[in-house]
Structure formats: C-alpha cells, structure tokens
Amino acid sequence: MSREFTIIGAGVAGLCVATELVSRGAKVALHDTQGLPGPASCSWWAGGMLAPFCEGEAAPEAVVRLGRAAAGWWQGHGVPVTHNGTLVIALGRDRQELDRFARRTKDHSRLDAPAIAALEPDLGERFSTALFYAGEAHLAPREALSVLAARLAQNGVAINTDAAPPSASHIDCRGLAARDSLRDLRGVKGEMLILRCPQIDLKRPVRLLHPRIPIYLVPRGDGVYMLGATQIESNDRNRATVRSVLELLSAAYALHPAFGEAEILEVGVDARPAFPDNVPRVIRQGGVVHANGLFRHGFLLAPALAGMVADHVLNGARPELFHEYHP
C-alpha cells in the first residue's frame, strides 16, 4: 500500500488524520484553501468539551466508547487538556430534566448544595442538586488546532493554500463542503458566544439543562467563557439570529446574574457536518477516502476517526465506522 497521502481540509478532522498518519511513518501533503484553521472552519467555533458520558444522553453507545480515548490522544500530541470533569445542573422548575439526564447517562455522581459549592463556589448557593461527571475533560479548540498544525510543520507538513491538484485518490476532510460528493451529509447549525465575565470563576464546563434551550459554558481562563450552543437543522453557516443569541444569553443570565455584566467578545456560527445517525464515518468512494460527519463531536471523536482512517489506508482494514459508497 502507498505510504504517501494527500489530505484536503485542515479542520480538526484533517489535522487529526494528518497527525495520525505522520505518527505512523507515512508522508502527507495537507491542503486547505483557507490556510491555518480559522473562522472558516467549523472547528474554530467548538466548545472543546471532551464529554463522552454527557453526550451519551442523546448519542449512540459508540460515541461514548470511542470518545473515552480522546483526552489521552490530545495530550499525547502535546495539547493541554484540563481534567476537571463536567457539572450538570438544572433550575428548580426543571429538576425532572436532571433526573432524566441521570437515567440516560453513566459515570456520574449526585451532588448536594455543599458539594456543588466545594467544586464551584460561585454556583453553590444557587443550586441544590447537580450531576458530576468526574471522568470528563475539556480543551481549548483553537489552541489544540494550532498545536497540531505547528507539530505537523515541524515534521515538514505545512498547510498548502493552493487548491489541491486534481486527483482520483486523496483523503477528503472538507467538513460540510463535502456535501458536493456525500449526498447524505447535512448541516446542523450551531450558534455560540464568547463572553468575558471576570466576576465568575468556573473551573469546568457547566451544562444547564432546559427542555428547550439547554446551554453550556466552557471556561477558557481569565474570566473568558464559550457559551453554546444552538442545534438547528440547517446548512446556514453565516448568520446568528437575534432569537438564538437572546435565548443563549438569557439562559446564561439564569445560570448566574453576573453574566448580565459580561462583555460579548464574539458571536460565532457554523453548521456541523452530520450523517443521518449523527455518527461520523470513514467512507471509501472509489479512490477517495472521506473522514466526515463529526457532528457535535469534532474534538471528541476526530482522534478515533483518524485512527480508523490510518488503519484503512495503511493496512486495508475495514474499521468500525467504515462505509463504502459507490461513486
């Protein structure tokens, strides 16, 4: 089998596939017309939660199982990962949401108000019960992308911004842009904000459950938080709506009124690439191998997906998430 590969797309999927192949001794050429990962890639807007157990509330078992290895993979490739777990809470009137979430997920413990206060002093007096997922972690996506890109550059793999030469055999990691060749790929729009709120010091991702507008806050340090995220069936990657921003901010304000004083640093929007079952796929379509469909699990599942791409292109394996499409 060839050990030289052209990868198109340098979002989290392309960078993880390139990293995995290089670490197994292959030669890689990486093309992204936008250059280093930035606002044009969906990966730029992610929360960076490595939360397989919480995701199990709505995702299939494979997402939980494959996602458990993510934190170790990122750390093994030089990316800082914070292992502070995840706190899941609900306002009094939504207590049944917490019970439902607990029933549908594993590896959590129930906390009372003093235990919440011990973990997150700013929330302890506001919530009487919570779920704590001690085994979960988070990272800063933009830092993670730039660490992978820098390490690849050290290994002689720069991101080439010229359009890749036409080729019948390459690895396609173009995210939602690959809808031109993957007909069952769709977009799931996500809107998010970056807030600065130094009055509050959260140490871990906090998810606030709500029947219609669940939100999460991921600490980025220095009082900066990523507030996410809507989940809307739409391919729109450009416009955040007033309704979405209002709802996200209202929910943050309900979590803690100090968010009323927060500065809005960014409003972000993109559409997550997803297949009908919301599970990513390695797809062989003629000479092209696609790594796509990471949905809301880009940083959680790209390491596992990259490993499967490498197993397939280097060893001819047909791994768990492998599919064959006929061109």
**DSSP per position, 157-169:** -PEE-SPPPP-SS
Residue 128 DSSP label: S
290 contacts ligand FAD (rule: CB under 6 A):
no
Least Cβ distance, residue 63 to ligand FAD (angstroms): 10
**Of residues 20, 57, 136, 270, which one binds ligand FAD by CB under 6 A?**
270
Nearer to ligand FAD, 108 or 138 (CB): 138
Q: Measured from the CB atom, is 224 or 229 closer to ligand FAD?
A: 229
- Sort 272 into a burial class: Cβ within 10 Å, 0-12 / 13-18 / 19+: buried
Q: Is the peptide bond before 70 cis (omega within 30 degrees of 0)?
A: no
Identify the residue among 21, 30, 46, 195 touching ligand FAD (CB under 6 A).
46
Burial of 238 by CB count in 10 Å (0-12 exposed, 13-18 middle, 19+ buried)?
Answer: exposed
Per-residue binder mask for ligand FAD (CB under 6 A), 179-218, x = binder: -----------x-x--------------------------
Tell whether residue 43 is a contact of ligand FAD (CB under 6 A).
yes
Interface with ligand FAD includes 296 (CB under 6 A)?
yes
Number of other residues whose CB lies within 10 A of the CB of residue 180: 8
171 lies in the binding site for ligand FAD (CB under 6 A): no
Using the minimum distance from each CB to ligand FAD, give the nearer residue, 129 or 146: 146
Contacts of 166 (CB under 8 A, 6+ apart): none
Which of the stretches 4-12, 79-87, 108-116, 303-311 binds ligand FAD when contact is defined by CB under 6 A? 4-12
- Out of 52, 175, 187, 214, the only residue in the binding site for ligand FAD (CB under 6 A) is 175
Question: Exactly one of 151, 204, 272, 281 binds ligand FAD (CB under 6 A); which one?
Answer: 272
Q: Does 303 bind ligand FAD (CB under 6 A)?
A: no
Question: Of the ranges 39-47, 74-82, 88-96, 253-261, which one interacts with ligand FAD (CB under 6 A)?
Answer: 39-47
Minimum CB distance to ligand FAD, residue 250 (Å)? 17
- Reported residue count of the chain is 327
* Binding status of residue 146 toward ligand FAD by CB under 6 A: no
**Could you say whether residue 30 binds ligand FAD (CB under 6 A)?**
no
Query: Of the ranges 88-96, 245-253, 288-296, 304-312, which one interacts with ligand FAD (CB under 6 A)?
Result: 288-296
Closest distance of CB 200 from ligand FAD, Å: 19
Q: Which residue is nearest to ligand FAD (CB)?
A: 11
191 within 8 A of 229, measured Cβ to Cβ: yes
Q: Which listed residue (173, 240, 282, 305) binds ligand FAD by CB under 6 A?
A: 173
Name residue, tokens 């809005």.
Answer: 264
CB of 270 to ligand FAD, least distance (A): 4
Positions touching ligand FAD (CB under 6 A) are: 8-14, 31-34, 37, 40-43, 45-49, 173-175, 177, 190, 192, 228-229, 270, 272-273, 292, 294-300
